[in-house]
Amino acid sequence: MFKRFTHAIRDNFIIYVDGEPVDACEGDTILSALLSEIGFVRLLELKPEKRAGFCLMGACQDCWLWHLSGERARACTERVLPGMRLSTSQPGSVR
């Protein structure tokens, strides 16, 4: 769905989502990194349906993830940082 055109001129690094490494580029939002690399952001809570955000601009609330510290991360408005560790479910919750 998403194709990067400028990754060769930006710093590349790894972030982790549910412990899995995901390639990211400086300046990416979390959502753009995930859609570029794995094609979705999380699974729906009620059934195993992939979610990819909807509005891409902070309005629909479809792209929430969690930092391992427990803080929520809106993937479409928060930029990646090297080594960032995220979870697709609330840390400490039972799935």
Positions touching ligand FES (CB under 6 A) are 53-56, 58-63, 74-76
Q: Note every long-range contact of 39-42, with CB atoms under 8 Å and residues 24 or more positions apart, other chains counting.
A: 39/1, 41/65, 41/75, 41/88, 42/88
The CB-of-76 to ligand FES minimum distance in angstroms stands at: 3
Tokens 């400086």 sit at which residue? 26
Nearer to ligand FES, 22 or 35 (CB): 35
The CB-of-52 to ligand FES minimum distance in angstroms stands at: 8
Q: Are 76 and 63 in contact (CB under 8 A)?
A: yes
Nearer to ligand FES, 17 or 53 (CB): 53
